[in-house]
A = this chain, B = another copy of it.
């Protein structure tokens, strides 16, 4: 990575953690620049305005999460041939990964920006929407594959079942932050895991 891209990436790191702590509007370019050890005008060499920072930050967050899910469920699939057990292993790995974060998970950029969406243009809102829809599609596909091997014991809404993974993570993160209890998200994921097991195995 070039020096330029390292600075840009540093700016995005700083911005992300500040936005998760205070929200986008309350995060000033001054404080980001200071933390990155450049001047305020140096910031504008990397981003033409604050909205472009938001877009870059969200795009990067979505890419990182996608990669995390890819790696994690690929690995789970290598550990077990059956799609249901691979899913159960994947959820356990996800719970462990979230537990291993020293100060708890810092929060989700999508949740934060969604709760401030009138600050952003339609492009940013569409980015968030597509991210959630992408995860719905990913997990819905996995659940459909599971249902072929293990017929569902009750009728359920498959889109909503696909959404459930994102929903449990988002809900768990809100509670984890509000409570200050580090293992909150992972406990919620373990309940989701129990639900999946009961749904397909009884």
Q: Does A156 contact B (CB under 8 A)?
A: yes
> CA of A85 to CA of B187 in the docked complex: distance in angstroms?
25
Which residues on B sit within 8 Å (CB–CB) of A194? 154, 156, 195, 199
Chain A: interface residue total (CB-CB under 8 A): 54
Which residues on B sit within 8 Å (CB–CB) of A166? 171, 175
Which residues on B sit within 8 Å (CB–CB) of A118? 21-22, 26
Copies in the complex: 2
Q: Does A13 contact B (CB under 8 A)?
A: no
> CA of A118 to CA of B175 in the docked complex: distance in angstroms?
16
Given contacts A22-B119, A129-B178, A163-B175, 17 further A-B contacts (CB under 8 A): A21-B116, A22-B118, A23-B116, A26-B116, A107-B115, A115-B174, A117-B177, A129-B179, A154-B194, A157-B191, A160-B187, A163-B187, A169-B171, A171-B174, A174-B174, A191-B195, A202-B202
5 pairs of A and B residues whose beta carbons are closest in the complex: A171-B171, A167-B171, A160-B187, A25-B26, A23-B116
A residues lining the B interface (CB < 8 Å): 20-26, 107-108, 110-112, 114-119, 128-129, 131-133, 154, 156-157, 159-161, 163-164, 166-172, 174-175, 177-180, 184, 187-188, 190-191, 194-195, 198-199, 202
